[in-house]
Chain A
Amino acid sequence: MKVITAYCNLSADECLLNGDVVARRDAGSEDSWFKQIYRQQGLGYPKFYKMDGLSQAGYLASELIKKASPGISNTYTDDEIALVFANASSSAETDRRFMQTYEAGGSPSPSLFVYTLPNIVLGEIAIANKWYGENMFAVLPKFAPGFYLDYGQILLGSGSRALLCGWLEVTANTTDVFLFLVEERESGTEFNTENLLHLSQATSVATF
């Protein structure tokens, strides 16, 4: 059966891996929230600093998923892990910033321009891991489990053996990130609508 073997939730002030808090935002820090996680997790990938918020969030959550499932890079060949991501705001945040670079009288910034598509985050994750499998980024009105289930079924029936899926909504006012890994197992948290809805809403008890 297809099961969710790891998942990561990232909100504006906390980061959870498999339901456990792995980082909390330090409001007094001069570092951005994503930089705080990057440092706390001891990650060493300087390209992180070049990424826009969407790509930083996807990179961080995928690295955390790998920490929870360290075997994924050895278990699958480089084209057997498919990436299936979605969000509602596309790359609007970076689009706006890019627009400002030339509207403010300067010149368009090439380093921002390269992030003016939402699927760039998939490329960043693929490059960081040397994964060459299928990938898709959809822009949807809201988190829709059916999208991952339907498209995932097609991918798993056509050569992919694992899915790294994600809802990645990152704007100036919103950080709503949910990444999850789907693999074949004899038992576990089944890859279905109910579980996806439940896990996507995971927050720490301490926040209530």
Chain B
Amino acid sequence: MDSLKQDLKKQIIEQLNLEDLSVEDIADDALLFNDQGLGLDSIDALELIVLLEKYHGIQLTNPEEGKEAFKSINTMAEYINKRKAA
């Protein structure tokens, strides 16, 4: 799980072109779409959907699922594990 979270952070930095950020800058529980967290926006949500498919082979089609899954690194990792186990 921890290695998945580390991978997710690297993939987010790569996919969203956040070169100034390092893995250490992103806390597992930081809110991704909050100004106190990563401050992502709707464009970035698209990038996260692409990221899930590109790196994890998961297609996210239900916006409500995305809302929950993209809350933080923790919820993204949980979502990926849940989808892969299904």
Contact = CB atoms under 8 A, between A and B. Distances in A.
Interface of A: 31-32, 34-35, 45-50, 56, 97, 107, 109-112, 114
Contacts of A114: 43
Contact of B20 (A49, A97, A109, A111): A49
A36 B5 CA distance: 26
B78 interface: no
Given A50-B44, A107-B50, A111-B47, A31 B20 contact: yes
B36 A46 contact: yes
Nearest to A110: B43
Contacts of A112: 17
B35 A46 contact: yes
B46 A110 contact: yes
Nearest to B31: A46
A-B pairs with the 10 shortest C-beta distances?
A47-B39, A46-B39, A35-B20, A110-B43, A49-B21, A111-B16, A49-B20, A49-B18, A46-B38, A110-B46
A46 B37 contact: yes
Given A50-B40, A50-B44, A111 B35 contact: no
B64 interface: no
B41 to A, nearest CB: 8
Interface string B2-34: 000000000000011111110001000000000
A45 B35 CA distance: 7
A139 to B, nearest CB: 23
A32 B20 CA distance: 7
B50 A34 contact: no
B17 A111 contact: yes
Nearest to A36: B20
B43 A111 contact: yes
A73 to B, nearest CB: 17
B54 to A, nearest CB: 9
Given A107-B50, A110-B43, A111-B47, A50 B18 contact: yes
A130 to B, nearest CB: 12
**Which of B15, B20, B40, B43 has the largest number of chain A CB atoms within 10 A?**
B20
**Which of B19, B25, B43, B47 has the largest number of chain A CB atoms within 10 A?**
B43
A110 B35 contact: no
Nearest to B32: A46
A111 B50 contact: no
A45 B16 contact: no
